[in-house]
Amino acid sequence: MTQPTAEHIDWTDPACPVARTLDVVGDRWSLLIVRDAMDGARTFGDFQQSTGIARNILTDRLRRLVRHGIIDRTPGPSGRRHIYALTPAGRDLFTVVVALRQWGERHTFAPAEQHSVLVDESGVPIPELQPTDSTGQPVNPDTTTVRKVR
């Protein structure tokens, strides 16, 4: 799939990568579908069962994710149903999903409230994501700036 261009999308903010990303995957259902694809969902029924999303909305979001190269759709073995799988671009959203998960763990649960935890292959929770600079030092909004490209 070719990369979307201004010809394909009416970008909210054409120069901002965050805005462009949100234009493609910024609604609740799209990211939940991507999350579930990362967790092994492969069929329309899988996505509908795990999210509880209405069929018409799921159909729309799957088409949109396919159109933008986030998910591939291929005929299933019987030819009647489709199989959905993340593309490399979809897999690249893993860090985004992890960041949202970790933010949610910190800010949307009471201290003793139970919630799911993302663990590595040995069963250990993954460490908190932390952006770093070119020397490996942590960065934050106070230590970074956006450079406008002209």
The per-residue pLDDT for 2 is 46
pLDDT averaged per 10 residues in sequence order, the chain, 150 residues: 54 87 94 97 97 96 96 92 97 97 96 94 96 96 90
Structural domains of the chain in order of their starting residue, each with its CATH number? 17-91 (1.10.10.10)
CA pseudo-torsion sign 25, 103, 101, 91: positive
pLDDT per residue as tens digits for the range 46-63: 999 999 999 999 999 999
Q: Give the SS3 label for residue 84.
A: strand
Contacts of 43 (CB under 8 A, 6+ apart): 76, 81, 82, 83, 84
What pLDDT is attached to residue 99?
Answer: 97
Q: Considering the entire predicted model, what is its pTM?
A: 0.87
pLDDT score at 87 = 98
The answer to whether the CB of 101 falls within 8 A of the CB of 115 is: no
User: Facing residues of 64 across strands?
Assistant: none
Q: What is the pLDDT of residue 91?
A: 98
pLDDT for res 6: 44
Q: How far apart are CA 145 and CA 150, in angstroms?
A: 16
